[in-house]
Amino acid sequence: MSDPKAKILIVEDSSSMINYIRSGLENEGYNILLARNGIEAIKVMENSVPDLIISDIIMPEMGGMELRNYMQNNYRLNLIPFIFLTVKTEFNDKIKGLEAGADDYITKPFKTEELLAIIRARLNRYKLLGDLIKYDKLTGLYNRRELEERLADDLNRARRYKKILTIAMLDIDHFKNVNDTYGHMTGDIVLKHVAAKCKEEIRDVDYAGRTGGEEFVIVMPETVKEHGLLAVNRIRLAVSRMSIGESQIKVTISGGIASAPEDSLNLEDLLSFADMALYRAKDAGRNNVKKYESVWSKV
C-alpha cells in the first residue's frame, strides 16, 4: 500500500474517467481531491496542496495547459509532480505537454498499473527533491527561504480573509559558549535537540524553521499574541529542562513575539518586530519571552 497521506488531485471533466482513476488510486491508499477544470483545481489548491496532479488537457473554462502554466508561476505549486492524461495522441501534443513542465504524458486508454507505477516514481522523486529544497539539513526544520515563503502566503491569506497569526523568533542563549567549550559537533547536537523540542511542542497547524545559526522562527496560524506567548513559554520551559548529550549540557532560549494584523501584515516588518522583542528578552536577562509592543517603534 502507498503512503495514506499522499494527496492526489484529479482534474478531469469526465465522470466515468474520474471514477476509473479514483477507484484504482483509492485501492492503493491515496487520498483523492477532485476538480472538473483548471479553475476548480486552483480553488482546491488554495485550501489543500496536493502531492501530485493528474490532469486532462481539454476541459471547459480552463484546460490542463493553462493550469500547468499557472502552477509554473507559483512557488508553492511549481514543483508538484504533474501528469497529463489525455486522448490527444499526436507526437506534437506530447512535446507541448512536456515543454509545459509536465512530468509525464499518458494517453487514453491506459492501464491502471502503468499509472500507479508512474505515480509511485514521481512521488518518491518529489519527496527527495522537496527535502533538498525545503528543509534545513541539520535540524529537519524548514530552511529560511521555505519558511519565509510560507509565512508570506499565510500573511496574504490573513489579509484576504481577515485571519490572525502570531510568529515567534527564538534564539539559544550563549550558544557561542557551547561551541567554544564542547566543539561545533556538539553544538550541532544541541541545535538538533532544540529544533526537535520546538517541533514536538507546537501544534500540527504550526510550523517552524531555522533561519540561521542558532535562530529559529515558529509560525502559529489562528493564534492571538497572548496565546502565542503562552505557547512559546511552554517551549522555553521544555528546552530548559533538557540535558543534552553525554556531557548533559543545559541550555536556555529567549524569544520574541509579534502578531498579524495587530503589529503588521508585512513580512519584513513582522519579522523585524519579533526580532526586536527577542532582543528585549535578551536584555532582560535571557531565558524569557517578550511580546512586541507598538510603543517601542515610537521611541
Q: Whole-number mean pLDDT of the chain?
A: 92
Known catalytic residue: 149? no
Query: Can you list the domains of the chain with their CATH numbers?
Result: 7-132 (3.40.50.2300), 144-298 (3.30.70.270)
Lowest pLDDT segment from 71-75, 163-167, 295-299: 295-299
**Per-residue pLDDT, 280:** 97
Residue 154: pLDDT over 80:
yes
Mean pLDDT of 123-141: 90
Residue 1: pLDDT over 50:
no
Mean pLDDT of 212-228: 97
Q: Which helix (H) or strand (E) holds 115?
A: helix 112-134
Q: In what order do the strands lie in the sheet with 7-11?
A: 31-35, 7-11, 52-55, 82-86, 104-107
Mean pLDDT of 184-198: 97
CB 140 within 8 A of CB 200: no
CB 293 within 8 A of CB 276: no
Straight-line distance from the first to the last Cα atom of the chain, in angstroms, rounded to the nearest whole number: 61
User: CA 277 to CA 271: how far, in whole Å?
Assistant: 10
| pLDDT tens per residue, range 240-273 | 999 999 899 999 999 999 999 999 999 999 999 9
251 vs 299, residue with greater confidence? 251
pLDDT band (50, 70, 90) for residue 199: very high
Give me 169's grid cell. 523568533
User: CA 182 to CA 238: how far, in whole Å?
Assistant: 22
Give me 292's grid cell. 512586541
- pTM of the entire predicted model: 0.72
Lowest pLDDT segment from 71-85, 93-107, 182-196: 93-107
Mean pLDDT of 55-78: 91
48 vs 182, residue with greater confidence? 182
Give me 138's grid cell. 541539520
Dihedral (CA of 95, 100, 102, 103) sign: positive
Mean pLDDT of 68-92: 84
**Per-residue pLDDT, 89:** 63
The residue from 12, 40, 146, 214 that is catalytic is 214
Distance of CA 41 to the CA centre of its chain: 19
Could you tell me which residues come within 8 angstroms of residue 160 by beta carbon, excluding any fewer than 6 positions away?
none
**Per-residue pLDDT, 297:** 67
User: CA 7 to CA 11: how far, in whole Å?
Assistant: 13
